[in-house]
Amino acid sequence: MTEPVQEPGEPFGLERDPARVVAFSDAVIAIAITLLVLEIHPPPDTSHLLHGLAALWPSYLAYAVTFMLIGQVWANHHIMFDHIRSADRVVLFLNTVLLMDVAFLPFAASVLAEALREGHGQRTAVVLHGTTFELAAVLFNVIWWYACHDRRLLATSIDAAGATAVGRRFRLALVWLGTGTLLGALLPAAGMAVIAAFILYYWLPIAGEIAKVKRRHGGADQG
């Protein structure tokens, strides 16, 4: 017997309910975002506690920026999977790589805080931090492109215009984070500022994300 040939545009392998993918992803993201605070250690000298706490500003900065960015990863992950009706093996694999990247973020934040504190290696630290988020943006784009291609995995909750709007937002993340990362290789403070500005923009809703429901004006609506 010959193996069945997969037709172009068909899901790869058995389709699964994406709810389990989202639940597992939520757990990994929650652990990663919680680990961030464990990288902030209390000052060893409590006799000058106020000064010691103030000296931890690099840790606070790395914590706040990374926490909010991971929060965006979580929010946009939900936005994406709200419109994916099923997950095949390709989606499972790509999502696993995405979670592996997210789990690396506490380390990248720790390196960034240490470099800011010591005043050495700041360019490398900002590039590492930005590149980790850039990889997440790449994976978001690949997952969304794969799901949207021939609408192979998309739900009916989103139309073509909405899918394009979501894809446009994801592509913008590539440029925005990439710009901040490259700028950070030259001017670390400027690169961090660009990446931080990304936080404010990406909490805005995506116009056209939800398919518009056409209202029917039948005889029952007429008085």
Q: Can you give the pLDDT at residue 159? A: 85
Q: Can you give the pLDDT at residue 157? A: 80
Q: Confidence band (pLDDT; 50, 70, 90) for 144? A: very high
Q: What are the backbone dihedrals phi and psi of residue 154, each rounded to the nearest 5 degrees, phi first?
A: -80, 145
Q: Can you give the pLDDT at residue 45? A: 80
User: By percentage, how much of the chain surpasses pLDDT 70?
Assistant: 85
Q: Can you give the pLDDT at residue 214? A: 41
pTM: 0.83
Above 80 in pLDDT, residue 88? yes
56-69 confidence digits (pLDDT tens):
999 999 999 999 99
Facing residues of 87 across strands? Answer: 16
**Helices within the chain (DSSP H only):** 18-38, 49-54, 57-82, 89-118, 122-148, 160-186, 188-202
Residue 160 near residue 196, CB atoms below 8 Å? no
* More confident position, 212 or 17: 17
Q: What are the backbone dihedrals phi and psi of residue 68, each rounded to the nearest 5 degrees, phi first?
A: -70, -35
Rounded Cα distance between 134 and 108, Å, is 13
Rounded Cα distance between 140 and 127, Å, is 20
Q: Can you give the pLDDT at residue 10? A: 56
* More confident position, 156 or 219: 156
Q: Can you give the pLDDT at residue 213? A: 40
Q: Can you give the pLDDT at residue 92? A: 94
Q: Can you give the pLDDT at residue 52? A: 87
Rounded Cα distance between 140 and 173, Å, is 10
Above 50 in pLDDT, residue 89? yes
Residue 149 near residue 128, CB atoms below 8 Å? no
Above 70 in pLDDT, residue 8? no
DSSP letters spanning 142-198: HHHHHHHGGGSSB-TTS-HHHHHHHHHHHHHHHHHHHHHHHHHHH-HHHHHHHHHHH
Residue 70 near residue 105, CB atoms below 8 Å? yes
172-213 confidence digits (pLDDT tens):
999 999 999 999 999 999 999 999 988 888 777 766 665 554
Q: Can you give the pLDDT at residue 43? A: 85
